Amino acid sequence: MNLLTLSLAYLRDRALNSALNLVLLALGVATIVLLILFASQFEERLTKDARGVHLVIGAKGSPLQLVLSSIFHVDIPTGNISLAEATKISKHRLVASAIPLALGDAYRGFRIVGTESSYPASYKAELDDGRLWKKPFETTIGARVMKETGLKVGDMFSGAHGIKGTGKVHEENGYRVVGVFKRTGTVIDRLILTTMESVWIIHEIKEEAKAKGLMIEGPPSEEREITAMVIRYRSPIAAITLPRYINANTGMQAASPGYEIRRLMALVGVGVQTLQGFGIMLIATAALSMFIALYNAMQNRRYDIVIMRSLGATRRKLFCQILLEGLILACAGTVLGIVIGHAIIELLGQLLPQARAMGLTGVIWVREEWYLLLLSGIVGLVSAALPAVQAYRTDIAVTLSAR
């Protein structure tokens, strides 16, 4: 028997009420944890995928769409640009590196991207098996692609038109897997990389060209098109001059991933903040409800307090016992809420395709969660403070003679 078991006995004594408050608090905490985990992973994912990319060049249209489609590979591309024109930009003195991307097909939901070996290198992707693609129709696939499609080195597959991979299947052109990347935690995990020629051949060569046996060559170089080009600057000055130059003097559009991500997060942030406010309201309701429960319980416990005092308990001990009751309930509710929040995120990450693509996981700990624990401690103390003071102030003789 000590203050802890005593507090637990009192909580058990009004079990239904304690359980209700516990659930109320847990729901509030779970809501906030859910948002914290989602937002942090979402932002981390975006930043990770866009790391090292200063500028994206593509067809005119929505800059956000261009960034989404060519960096995160989630939206449809804005269109195509001329390879020759893009190459001119890549030779600009302010450009450190430029990687062309040619999109168009997909295999079971995973995009096939025609590019150069510098693309996976920019994400520090390492080979797990096989080698990098060299010739047209050779592919090196991401870890997630392997896991979900079961493709392995040596396997053949056919891409389907459209980035969702649900369009017409290009039966005639079989891709071959020559390598698999290790998991990177970036967009590379979800991509099938090949040469740009593969994409050109499939899309540009029509029936007649095929008849002429031009398959392996692709279209003549002046007609070649790509979807986008991702660029790294040589110097920060480029951020001021280069986008303006491209947007004003070429038929292409330049978009800054950093800027677009900030814009996107600001939009998402409004929703996150609204929901977070809702979670805080739930927590406040729980605190109020805990206070009311404890306050009411104190009316019946006046005699218990007198008894404990007469048994030798000091005022301070009783004060602490009641604070402890609030703390236990608040901490239990918070821990339950944190567990629920993590479980939901983990479940979403396993079941929801979009969340899975994002690599959403519940098995992480975010710093903000410490603040939540701290907050719950405060909630517990605040809700128990007044009842505890009441207990402290209880006058034994007066209570005993009150009939």
Per CB under 6 A, residues contacting ligand ADP are 398, 401
Closer to another protein by CB, 334 or 394: give it: 394
Q: Under the criterion CB under 8 A, does residue 2 sit at the interface with another protein?
A: yes
- Inter-residue contact 337 to 33 (CB < 8 Å): yes
Q: Tell which one of 84, 307, 347, 352 touches another protein (CB under 8 A).
A: 307
Closer to ligand ADP by CB, 316 or 403: give it: 403
- By rule CB under 8 A, what count of residues binds another protein? 26
How far is the C-alpha of 66 from the C-alpha of 81, rounded, in Å? 12
Among another protein, ligand ADP, none, what does residue 145 contact (CB within 5–8 Å per kind)?
Answer: none
Q: Under the criterion CB under 8 A, does residue 317 sit at the interface with another protein?
A: yes
The DSSP code sequence of 205-216 is --HHHHHTT-TT
CB of 388 to another protein, least distance (A): 16
Ranked by CB distance to ligand ADP, the top (closest) residue is 401
Paired tokens of 117: 């070996």
Burial of 346 per CB tally in 10 Å (0-12, 13-18, 19+): middle
Closer to ligand ADP by CB, 281 or 400: give it: 400
CA 96 to chain centre: 30
- Inter-residue contact 42 to 34 (CB < 8 Å): no
Q: Tell which one of 118, 221, 296, 310 touches another protein (CB under 8 A).
A: 310
Contact range with another protein by CB under 8 A, out of 95-103, 222-230, 249-257, 299-307: 299-307
Q: How many CB atoms lie within 10 A of CB 27?
A: 20
How far is the C-alpha of 133 from the C-alpha of 118, rounded, in Å? 12
Q: Under the criterion CB under 8 A, does residue 295 sit at the interface with another protein?
A: no
Q: Tell which one of 210, 314, 370, 389 touches another protein (CB under 8 A).
A: 314
CB of 400 to another protein, least distance (A): 6
Q: Under the criterion CB under 8 A, does residue 316 sit at the interface with another protein?
A: yes
Q: Under the criterion CB under 8 A, does residue 16 sit at the interface with another protein?
A: no
CA 32 to chain centre: 15
Q: Under the criterion CB under 8 A, does residue 392 sit at the interface with another protein?
A: no
Measured CA to CA in angstroms, residue 87 lies from 9, 66, 101, 138 at distances of: 76, 18, 12, 24
Segment 232 to 271, residues that bind another protein, using CB under 8 A: none
CB of 13 to another protein, least distance (A): 4
Paired tokens of 30: 């779970």
Q: Is 251 helix (H, G, I), strand (E, B) or coil?
A: coil
Mention every residue, 6+ apart, whose C-beta is less than 8 A from residue 82: 224, 225, 251
Among ligand ADP, another protein, none, what does residue 315 contact (CB within 5–8 Å per kind)?
Answer: another protein
Q: Under the criterion CB under 8 A, does residue 9 sit at the interface with another protein?
A: yes
How far is the C-alpha of 65 from the C-alpha of 174, rounded, in Å? 30
Closer to another protein by CB, 220 or 312: give it: 312
Closer to ligand ADP by CB, 210 or 393: give it: 393
Q: Under the criterion CB under 8 A, does residue 365 sit at the interface with another protein?
A: no
Q: Smallest Cα–Cα separation from 328: which of 383, 288, 278, 285?
A: 383
How far is the C-alpha of 305 from the C-alpha of 292, rounded, in Å? 18
Residues at the site binding another protein, with contacts judged by CB under 8 A = 1-2, 5-6, 9-10, 12-13, 303-304, 306-317, 396-397, 400-401
